[in-house]
């Protein structure tokens, strides 16, 4: 049975990493709601001052927040790149506004401590869920390739690793699978794409 998917915005290609899916025109009909890549999330949403490297689109943030509020608790949000950062903020987290080492051509390694995968990397900001209650999120995969963390309201000493895939599961809110990389850029049989598809299938039951 095909997964019913709604993509917030016009970039429908962000769903291409999913297997056996069909697009729906109404968000209420979806099992999975995807938030896509693009401009940085405005720091005002998480109470921070803008870093010189931050380029945001407040109108997009407003629209996506309105769409996020429409998602039911029995639906799954999936965020890709900027979308992952948006989901972090929507759950009360913050962002590292500038990091080094991730805006590269190609892939880098991520791990859960036991298994390793290669995934794309094209970002200069990063999820910072460390201000949240630990019962409200799980960092599923991470890496350690950054060599600098900048941004108002964050403490670099509280960052044990670079967050790559995080699951937010706050009470009375939809589950949010926040993926920093771009699985839609990768071949469909890439191990990391298979792993993410398995995660999505598990989360939607």
Residue 117 has a pLDDT of 97
Low-confidence ranges of the chain (pLDDT < 70): 101, 103-105
Q: What is the per-residue pLDDT for 145?
A: 79
- Residue 106: CB atoms within 10 A of its CB come to 8
What is the per-residue pLDDT for 176?
A: 98
Give the pLDDT confidence score for residue 104 in this predicted structure.
61
Q: CA nearest 183: which of 16, 59, 3?
A: 16
Inter-residue contact 163 to 186 (CB < 8 Å): no
Vertex 113: Cα angle to 155 and 79 (nearest 5): 65
Q: How far apart are CA 6 and CA 155, in angstroms?
A: 35
What separation, in Å, do the N-terminal and C-terminal C-alpha atoms of the chain show?
A: 12
**Predicted pLDDT of residue 184:** 94
How far apart CA 164 and CA 72 sit, in angstroms, is 25
pLDDT digits (tens, 9 = 90+) for 76-122: 999 999 999 999 999 999 999 998 767 666 788 999 999 999 998 88
Q: Are strands 3-8 and 21-23 parallel, antiparallel or unpaired?
A: parallel
Please state, for a pLDDT cut of 90, what percent of the chain lies above it. Answer: 88
User: What pLDDT, on the 0 to 100 scale, is given for residue 123?
Assistant: 80
The domains of the chain, with CATH numbers, are 3-204 (3.40.50.880)
pTM: 0.96
d(CA 47, CA 50): 10
């Amino acid at each position: 049975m095909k997964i019913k998917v709604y993509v917030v915005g016009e970039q429908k290609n962000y769903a291409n990493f999913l297997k056996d899916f069909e697009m729906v025109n109404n968000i209420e009909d979806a099992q999975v709601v995807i938030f896509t890549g693009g401009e940085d999330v405005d720091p005002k949403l998480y109470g921070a001052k803008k870093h010189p490297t931050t380029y945001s689109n407040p109108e997009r943030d407003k629209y996506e927040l309105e769409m996020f509020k429409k998602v039911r608790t029995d639906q799954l949000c999936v965020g890709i790149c900027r979308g992952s950062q948006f989901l972090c903020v929507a759950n009360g987290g913050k962002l590292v506004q500038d990091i080094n080492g991730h805006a590269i051509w190609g892939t880098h390694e991520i791990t859960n401590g036991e298994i390793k995968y290669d995934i794309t990397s094209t970002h200069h900001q990063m999820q910072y869920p460390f201000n949240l209650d630990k019962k409200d999120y799980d960092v599923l995969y991470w890496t350690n390739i950054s060599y600098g963390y900048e941004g108002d309201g964050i403490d670099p000493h509280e960052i044990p690793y670079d967050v790559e895939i995080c699951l937010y599961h706050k009470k009375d809110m939809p589950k949010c699978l926040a993926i920093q990389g771009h699985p839609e850029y990768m071949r469909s049989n890439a191990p990391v794409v298979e792993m993410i598809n398995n995660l999505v299938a598990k989360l939607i039951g």
